[in-house]
C-alpha cells in the first residue's frame, strides 16, 4: 500500500489539449468519412469497387505490396543478422543508411529510382539487352516498394536478435545441430513475432504508398495503375463518392493488418512474461 | 564455435553491403550526378528559381508548424495517458494510432471531404471565411495527420516505464506543474522527444500523397517542394527536378546523421544513469 497518493497536476490541461487535437485531426475527419459512406449506398459502393479497372488496381496494389514485403523479409533478416552478429569496418555507416527511405522524401526516391531503372538508366541498361524492362512495369513498382519498406523489417527484427540469448544456440551446437538447423529451429521461432510485425507494417505502408510509385509505374490502366492513384484520379474528376468507395476497401484492409499486428504483439508479450 | 568455416559471414557481409549499395546508396549518388549534369550555373539557377524558393518556404512553414503542433500534442497526450487513469484511455490510444493505418492519399481524401466544398462543415467554414482545402492550413493539417503518432509514440513508453514516484514526491512537496515538468519529467524524456521530433521532421518535409491531394497545386501558392519536383519532372525538366531534389537529399542526410547521434548519445546517457 502506498502512503498518500496525491494526484499530479495538469490533468485538465493535458487531456483537454489531447482531446482537441484528436477531435480535429482524427475524430471529425473519420466521422465525415462515415457520413460520406452512409450517403453512398450499397449499390453505388458496389458498382465502383467491382469496376474492372478498380479491381485491376487493387490486384496490382496488393500483389506488388505483398511481393515487396516478402522480399524484404529475406533481406531484412539478413541485414539485421549481419548488423548484430558480425563486426566489420563500415558497419555503423551501413546500419545508419537503413533509415534512408524514412528520411528521403518519397517523390525524390521515386524520380531517382525511375531514372536508375529506365532502359537508359544505370541499372536498367544492364537488363535492357535481355529484353527485361523494369521501369514502367510491375517490377519497377516492386523495387520501389522494397526500397520504401526496407527499414520496417530490419528495425523490427534487429532488437530481437540483439537480445537473443546465445546459450540456446550454443546448446544446439554442442548437441550436434548444424548451423542451418540452429537457425531454423532456434533462431527463427524467436524472430517470428517481430518478423510478422515488420511484414505487416511494411505491407500496410506499401499498400498505401503513392509518392514514390507513380513515377516508376507509368500508370497504365489494368497494367501498372495502383489503387491510390485511382483515388487521386477520381478526386481530380470530383467523383468524391467513387473515391471514397475505393478508399474504404483499402482502409478496411489496413485496419485488419493493424489489428493483426496488435494481436501478434500482445501474444508475444504474453509469452515472454 | 567461431573460426572454422568463416566464409559464411564474409558472404553475408558482402551480400548486405552490395544490397545496401544498390538499393540505398546508388539512388543518392544518381541524384547528385544528375543535378550537376548541366553544370553548376544551371544548378544554381534551378534552386534559386522564384517558384523553387516559394516551394521551399512553404515546405519549411508546413514542416515547422506540424512538428511544433505534434510536439505540443505528443507531450500533452503522453502526460494525460501515462499520469492519469480515466475511462476511454484505450480508445484514445487507438485513435492516436489511426493515422499509421491510413494511406496518405486517403488522408488527403478525408480532409477534402471534411473541409472541402461538399462537407457538412462547409456552411460554418465559409461563414467565417476559413479556407482550409487548397490553401496552406489544409497542407499543415494533412501533414499533422500523417505525422500524428510520431512524437506521442516515442514519449509514452519512456514515461510509462519511469513510473510516477518522483513526480508524486515533488507534487507532495508543493511543486507546481511547470516545475515538475521542467525539473523531473523533461530530463527523462528529452532524448525520446528529440527522436520523435526528428522522425516527425523527416516525414513532414517529404510528405507527398496527402499534401498533393489537399493542396490544389497552385504554383507559387500551395506548392510544396516535393510537389514542385513532380511538376518539373512532369514537364521533362529532369535536371532541374534533380537539382531541387538535392536540397531535400541534403536535409535527409542531416536528419539521418542527427538520428544516429541522438540514438548513440541516448544509449550512452542511459548506460551511465543505470549505474
Q: CB–CB of B73 and A100 under 8 A?
A: no
Low-confidence ranges of chain A (pLDDT < 50): 1-3, 273
Q: How far apart are alpha carbons B190 and A94 in whole angstroms?
A: 27
What does the pLDDT read at residue A5? 59
Distance from CA of A161 to the nearest CA of B (A): 16
* Model confidence band, residue B249 (pLDDT cutoffs 50, 70, 90): very high
| Sign of the four-CA dihedral A35, A41, A47, A49 | positive
The per-residue DSSP string of A28-65 comes to HHHHHHHHHHHHH-HHHHHHHHTSHHHHHHHHHHHHHH
Q: How far apart are alpha carbons B93 and B76 in whole angstroms?
A: 13
Q: Residues of A with CB below 8 A from B172's CB? A: 4, 6
Nearest CA in chain A to B166: A8
What does the pLDDT read at residue B117? 86
**Residue B1 in this model has a pLDDT that exceeds 50:** no
Mean pLDDT, rounded, of chain B: 91
What does the pLDDT read at residue A206? 96
Residue with cell 539512388: B27
Nearest CA in chain B to A85: B9
Kindly report, residue by residue over A245-261, the tens digit of the pLDDT.
Answer: 999 999 999 999 988 98
Q: CB–CB of B144 and A25 under 8 A?
A: yes
Distance from CA of B253 to the nearest CA of A (A): 8
Distance from CA of A37 to the nearest CA of B (A): 11
What does the pLDDT read at residue A272? 52
Q: State mean pLDDT over B236-248.
A: 95
**Which residue in the set A6, A104, A232 is minimally distant from B252, CB to CB?**
A104
* Model confidence band, residue B219 (pLDDT cutoffs 50, 70, 90): confident
3-class DSSP state of A5? coil
Task: Give yes or no for B36 touching A (CB within 8 A).
Answer: no
**Residue B39 in this model has a pLDDT that exceeds 70:** yes
**Which residue in the set A28, A99, A101 is minimally distant from B114, CB to CB?**
A28
Q: What are the two backbone dihedrals, phi and then psi, of residue B93, each rounded to the nearest 5 degrees? A: -65, -35
What is the separation of C-alpha A184 from the centre of its chain, rounded to a whole number of angstroms?
Answer: 25
Instruction: Name which of A97, A90, A89, A110 is nearest A228 in CA terms.
Output: A110
Task: Give yes or no for B141 touching A (CB within 8 A).
Answer: yes
What does the pLDDT read at residue B4? 53
Kindly report, residue by residue over B141-152, the tens digit of the pLDDT.
Answer: 999 999 999 999
Task: Give yes or no for B145 touching A (CB within 8 A).
Answer: yes
What is the separation of C-alpha A102 from the centre of its chain, rounded to a whole number of angstroms?
Answer: 11
Structural domains of chain A, ranges and CATH numbers in brackets = 43-272 (1.10.3720.10)
Residue from A108, A140, A161, A209 whose CB has the most chain B CBs within 10 Å, to mutate: A108
Nearest CA in chain B to A31: B114
Distance from CA of B102 to the nearest CA of A (A): 6
Q: What ipTM is given for this predicted complex?
A: 0.91
Task: Give yes or no for B270 touching A (CB within 8 A).
Answer: no
What is the separation of C-alpha A197 from the centre of its chain, rounded to a whole number of angstroms?
Answer: 10
Angle, CA B146 vertex, CA A207 and CA A67 arms, to 5°: 15
What does the pLDDT read at residue A6? 63
Selected residues 212-241 of chain B with any CB under 8 Å from a CB in chain A: 212-213, 225-227, 229-230, 233, 238, 241
Helices (H) and strands (E) in chain B, counts: 15, 0
What does the pLDDT read at residue B274? 56
Q: Residues of A with CB below 8 A from B238's CB? A: 111, 115
Q: What is the DSSP letter of A130?
A: G
Amino acid at each position: 500500500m502506498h502512503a498518500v497518493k496525491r494526484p499530479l497536476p495538469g490533468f485538465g490541461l493535458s487531456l483537454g489539449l489531447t482531446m482537441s487535437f484528436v477531435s480535429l485531426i482524427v475524430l471529425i475527419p473519420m466521422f465525415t468519412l462515415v457520413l460520406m459512406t452512409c450517403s453512398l449506398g450499397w449499390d453505388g459502393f458496389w458498382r465502383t469497387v467491382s469496376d474492372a479497372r478498380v479491381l485491376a488496381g487493387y490486384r496490382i496494389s496488393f500483389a506488388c505490396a505483398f511481393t515487396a514485403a516478402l522480399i524484404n523479409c529475406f533481406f531484412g533478416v539478413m541485414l539485421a543478422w549481419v548488423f548484430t552478429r558480425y563486426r566489420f569496418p563500415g558497419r555503423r555507416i551501413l546500419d545508419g543508411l537503413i533509415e534512408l527511405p524514412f528520411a528521403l522524401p518519397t517523390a525524390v526516391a521515386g524520380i531517382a529510382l525511375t531514372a536508375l531503372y529506365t532502359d537508359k538508366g544505370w541499372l536498367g541498361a544492364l537488363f535492357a539487352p535481355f529484353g527485361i524492362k523494369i521501369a514502367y512495369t510491375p517490377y519497377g513498382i516492386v523495387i520501389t516498394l522494397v526500397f520504401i519498406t526496407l527499414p520496417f523489417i530490419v528495425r523490427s527484427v534487429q532488437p530481437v536478435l540483439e537480445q537473443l540469448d546465445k546459450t540456446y544456440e550454443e546448446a544446439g551446437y554442442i548437441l550436434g545441430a548444424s548451423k542451418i538447423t540452429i537457425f531454423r529451429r532456434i533462431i527463427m521461432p524467436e524472430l517470428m513475432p517481430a518478423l510478422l510485425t515488420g511484414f505487416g507494417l511494411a505491407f500496410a505502408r506499401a499498400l498505401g504508398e503513392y509518392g514514390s510509385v507513380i513515377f516508376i509505374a507509368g500508370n497504365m490502366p489494368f497494367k501498372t495503375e495502383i489503387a491510390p492513384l485511382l483515388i487521386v484520379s477520381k478526386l481530380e474528376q470530383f467523383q468524391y463518392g467513387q473515391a471514397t468507395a475505393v478508399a474504404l476497401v483499402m482502409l478496411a484492409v489496413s485496419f485488419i493488418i493493424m489489428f493483426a499486428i496488435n494481436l501478434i504483439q500482445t501474444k508475444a508479450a504474453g509469452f515472454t512474461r | 564455435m567461431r573460426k572454422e568455416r568463416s566464409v559464411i559471414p564474409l558472404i553475408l557481409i558482402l551480400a548486405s553491403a552490395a544490397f545496401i549499395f544498390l538499393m540505398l546508396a546508388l539512388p543518392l549518388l544518381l541524384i547528385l550526378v544528375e543535378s550537376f549534369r548541366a553544370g553548376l550555373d544551371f544548378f544554381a539557377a534551378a534552386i534559386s528559381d522564384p517558384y523553387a524558393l516559394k516551394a521551399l518556404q512553404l515546405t519549411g512553414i508546413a514542416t515547422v508548424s506540424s512538428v511544433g503542433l505534434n510536439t505540443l500534442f505528443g507531450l500533452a497526450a503522453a502526460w494525460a495517458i501515462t499520469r492519469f487513469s480515466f475511462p476511454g484511455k484505450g480508445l484514445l490510444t487507438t485513435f492516436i494510432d489511426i493515422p499509421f493505418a491510413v494511406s496518405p492519399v486517403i488522408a488527403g481524401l478525408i480532409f477534402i471531404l471534411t473541409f472541402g466544398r461538399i462537407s457538412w462543415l462547409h456552411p460554418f467554414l465559409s461563414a467565417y471565411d476559413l479556407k482550409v482545402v487548397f490553401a496552406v492550413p489544409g497542407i499543415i493539417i494533412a501533414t499533422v495527420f500523417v505525422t500524428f503518432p510520431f512524437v506521442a509514440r516515442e514519449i509514452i513508453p519512456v514515461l510509462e516505464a519511469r513510473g510516477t514516484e518522483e513526480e508524486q514526491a515533488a507534487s507532495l512537496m508543493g511543486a507546481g506543474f511547470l516545475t515538475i515538468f521542467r525539473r523531473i519529467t523533461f530530463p527523462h524524456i528529452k532524448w525520446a522527444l528529440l527522436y520523435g521530433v526528428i522522425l516527425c521532421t523527416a516525414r513532414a518535409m517529404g510528405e507527398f500523397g496527402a499534401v498533393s491531394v489537399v493542396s490544389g497545386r497552385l504554383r507559387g501558392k500551395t506548392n510544396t517542394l516535393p510537389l514542385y519536383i513532380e511538376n518539373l519532372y512532369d514537364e521533362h525538366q529532369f535536371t532541374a527536378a534533380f537539382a531541387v531534389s538535392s536540397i531535400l537529399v541534403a536535409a535527409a542526410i542531416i536528419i539521418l546523421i542527427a538520428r544516429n547521434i541522438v540514438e548513440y548519445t541516448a544509449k550512452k546517457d542511459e548506460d551511465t544513469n543505470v549505474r
